[in-house]
């Protein structure tokens, strides 16, 4: 082989190695810091490329408020948990509703009551996420009677108080 061809192959090999190193560096950065999310303007409009804003259901005053959670599947199947104060769900010993589930985080989600009496669920940056009616939630989400909340392998139905 000529010296010129050997030099070209060496440069191509080094370039390929650098592309690989940059790819690995980007993957590590994404794993550590996550993906960038586009900011919103002061008027609430989204900057181009951001995800659509979720709509929250509006509840009328005559509609009954959630009063309990019925556990449909998981380690506590059949248990009824009254919605009072705030409920921390997870594998941790300090959880109000501890669940024995390998797919749940130590502090996975929190149920809390709003000022107007409505109940909300919030994912506490869990690894496997919290799902309401099959949709992964990323922000505080209002609950209605009949909603199903899934945390790991545990599924809970939101019911009116005293039902069952």
DSSP string for residues in the chain: --HHHHHHHHHHHHHHHHHHHHHHHHHHHHHHH------B-TTSPBPTTPPPPPPPPP--TTSPPEEEEEEEESTTTT-EEE--SEEEEESSTT-SEE---TTS-TT-EEEEE-TTS-EEEEE-S-SS-EEETTEE--S-EE--TT-EEEETTEEEEEEETT--
| pLDDT per residue as tens, the chain (164 positions) | 799 999 999 999 999 999 999 999 988 887 777 666 555 555 555 555 444 444 455 544 556 778 899 999 988 899 999 988 889 999 988 888 899 888 899 999 999 998 888 899 999 999 899 999 999 999 999 999 999 999 999 999 999 877 65
Q: What is the pLDDT of residue 55?
A: 47
**Total-model pTM:** 0.60
Q: What is the pLDDT of residue 92?
A: 87
């Amino acid at each position: 082989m000529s010296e010129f061809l050997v030099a070209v192959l060496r440069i191509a090999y080094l370039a390929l190695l650098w592309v690989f190193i940059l790819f690995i560096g980007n993957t590590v950065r994404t794993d550590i810091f996550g993906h960038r999310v586009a900011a919103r303007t002061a008027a609430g409009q989204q900057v181009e490329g951001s995800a659509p804003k979720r709509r929250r259901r509006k509840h009328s005053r005559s509609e009954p408020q959630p009063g309990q959670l019925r556990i449909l599947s998981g380690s506590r199947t059949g248990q009824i948990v009254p919605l009072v104060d705030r409920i921390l769900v997870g594998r941790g010993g300090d959880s109000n509703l501890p669940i024995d589930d390998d797919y749940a985080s130590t502090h996975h989600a929190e149920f809390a009551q709003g000022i107007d009496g409505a109940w909300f669920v919030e994912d506490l940056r869990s690894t496997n996420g919290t799902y309401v009616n099959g949709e992964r939630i990323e922000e505080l989400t209002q609950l209605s009677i009949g909603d199903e909340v899934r945390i790991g392998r545990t599924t809970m139905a939101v019911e009116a108080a005293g039902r069952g």
